């Protein structure tokens, strides 16, 4: 085994949480279909499995005594990916053409600046993703046709509504529109999950303050019905970020719509734009009851719905809005996180990189 030498040098011990022999963990890493490297803070390779050797075209690397990352792979993109994972403290990914290998690399930061590097062939991965997206697209397409027909039936019934069936027809139309939104959101989420950062549509430079105001203008009719207002705080200088205009618009729309849904009548949605050396922070706060422990753990999962008593609006979403925000953040090289504001209400923060 490529990790045999490492296992032989390692003193047998057990993982603290699950009680599994270290040698067993290493055997699992050796057998996984992807390539794996474990790097110390000095970028020396302490573990490399056979699959990684093949993908990086460096046979025998596991027999070397702690080779440097540059000795195993000279591509500067790999070193930059590892440094980025350490700097940002979260998973980073990049696509890399190495010889005749089209690879996807994922860097996972660990404690004390250690990094695990995972490699996989994008050719086989793309085939799986294309099959998945094609399946979701086919399902969505098949659902759209009967949904459109049912919506037309609902409109026809609404034109002939009587006092006896008005409530039923209104409910039918509402549920059909919700199903239509659900199909569209599922399709969009599938596309986002199959998109790597900086891949796909070309990025444009966007003024976030202008974009927030445009999004709120679309929500204002709903907000005015309940007397909810927007407070936007931002620097005097334009807040410019690179990104896909339609997807960033969608992310802001989902965040503001979510805050509006949980805001009390006569309340306020507060949006702050903060600039750092490399990042822009978009924070969206409502004045609702805040997030429970379950909310904080599952908020960005598909179809998760919190305590219905928190909702201050009759509108019901698809349950995919914040999952879509999370995927849009990832495809832009950013992230989204949630918490409770010290003065009350839920606080959701979208972190986006500034132009390099």
- Residue 141: active-site member: yes
**Tokens of residue 160, six digits:** 């002939």
Q: How far apart are CA 243 and CA 206, in angstroms?
A: 7
Q: Residues with Cβ < 8 Å from 43, sequence gap 6 or more?
A: 68, 69, 70, 79, 82
Q: How far apart are CA 97 and CA 232, in angstroms?
A: 43
| Max CA distance (Å), the chain | 83
Q: 336: alpha, beta or left, given left = phi > 0 and alpha = psi -120 to 50?
A: beta
Instruction: Compute φ and ψ for 51, nearest 5 degrees.
Output: -65, -40
Of residues 141, 234, 298, 341, which has the active-site annotation?
Answer: 141
Q: With beta carbons less than 8 A apart as the criterion, state whether 251 and 326 touch.
A: no
Q: How far apart are CA 292 and CA 101, in angstroms?
A: 46
Closest CA to 238 of 122, 354, 118: 354
Catalytic machinery residues: 141
């Amino acid at each position: 085994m490529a990790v045999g030498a490492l296992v032989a040098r390692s003193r047998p011990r057990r993982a603290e949480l699950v009680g599994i022999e270290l040698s067993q963990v290493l055997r699992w890493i050796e057998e996984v279909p992807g390539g794996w490297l474990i790097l110390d803070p000095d970028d020396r390779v302490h573990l490399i499995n056979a699959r990684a050797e093949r993908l990086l075209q460096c046979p025998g690397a596991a027999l070397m005594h702690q080779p440097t990352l540059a000795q195993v792979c000279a591509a500067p993109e790999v070193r930059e990916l590892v440094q980025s994972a350490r700097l940002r403290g979260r998973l980073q990914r990049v696509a890399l053409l190495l010889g005749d290998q089209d690879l996807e690399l994922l860097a996972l930061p660990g404690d004390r600046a250690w990094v695990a590097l995972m490699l996989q062939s994008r050719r086989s991965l793309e085939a799986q993703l294309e099959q998945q997206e094609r399946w979701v697209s086919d399902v969505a397409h098949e659902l759209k046709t009967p949904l459109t027909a049912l919506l037309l039936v609902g409109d026809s019934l609404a034109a002939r509504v009587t006092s006896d069936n008005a409530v039923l027809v209104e409910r039918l139309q509402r549920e059909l529109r919700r199903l239509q939104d659900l199909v569209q959101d599922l399709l969009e989420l599938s596309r986002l999950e199959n998109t790597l950062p900086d891949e796909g549509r070309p990025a444009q430079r966007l003024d976030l303050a202008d974009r927030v105001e445009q999004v709120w203008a679309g929500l204002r009719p709903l907000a005015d019905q309940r007397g909810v207002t927007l407070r936007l705080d931002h620097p005097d200088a334009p807040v410019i970020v690179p990104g896909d205009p339609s997807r960033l618009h969608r992310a802001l729309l989902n965040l503001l719509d979510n805050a509006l849904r949980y805001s009390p009548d006569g309340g306020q949605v507060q949006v702050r734009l903060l600039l750092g050396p490399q990042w822009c922070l978009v924070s969206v706060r409502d004045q609702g009851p805040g997030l429970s422990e379950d909310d904080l753990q599952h908020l960005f999962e598909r179809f998760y719905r919190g305590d219905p008593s928190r909702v201050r609006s009759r509108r019901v979403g698809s349950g995919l809005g914040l999952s879509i925000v999370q995927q849009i953040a990832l495809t832009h090289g950013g992230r989204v996180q949630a918490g409770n504001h010290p003065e009350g209400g839920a606080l959701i923060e979208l972190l986006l990189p500034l132009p390099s």
